């Protein structure tokens, strides 16, 4: 999938013009293929989603690490409250999975 979606982003001007990342194209391509296979009753795939919220949290946390200090400083008290809330969420999440 990775090579197909990167190829599609390079070849389709719309995707390249609007800077659509290749993982988005690959995800949509995967969803369309799975939808076509499921709707024609060829195959049904079940995805294991119990760790989905953890991986989404990790992804968006690491994506936000790209913020510079100026943006973090602009967040001020709201950012501090936000971090406290999510650290308590992480504590609840890990305690429910590992205890």
Average pLDDT over all residues of the chain: 79
Give the confidence band of 5 by pLDDT, cuts at 50, 70, 90.
confident
- Please tell me whether the overall predicted TM-score, pTM, comes out greater than 0.85 for this model: no
Distance CA 99, CA 95 (A): 5
User: pLDDT tens across 42-61, in order?
Assistant: 988 888 888 888 888 777 77
């Amino acid at each position: 999938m990775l090579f197909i979606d990167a190829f599609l982003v390079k070849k389709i001007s719309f995707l390249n013009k609007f800077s659509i990342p290749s993982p988005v194209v690959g995800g949509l391509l995967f969803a369309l293929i799975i939808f076509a296979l499921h709707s024609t009753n060829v195959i049904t795939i079940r995805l294991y989603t119990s760790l989905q919220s953890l991986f989404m949290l990790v992804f968006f946390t690491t994506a936000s690490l790209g913020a510079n200090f100026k943006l973090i400083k602009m967040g001020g008290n709201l950012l501090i409250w936000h971090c406290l809330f999510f650290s308590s969420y992480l504590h609840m999440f890990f305690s429910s999975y590992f205890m």
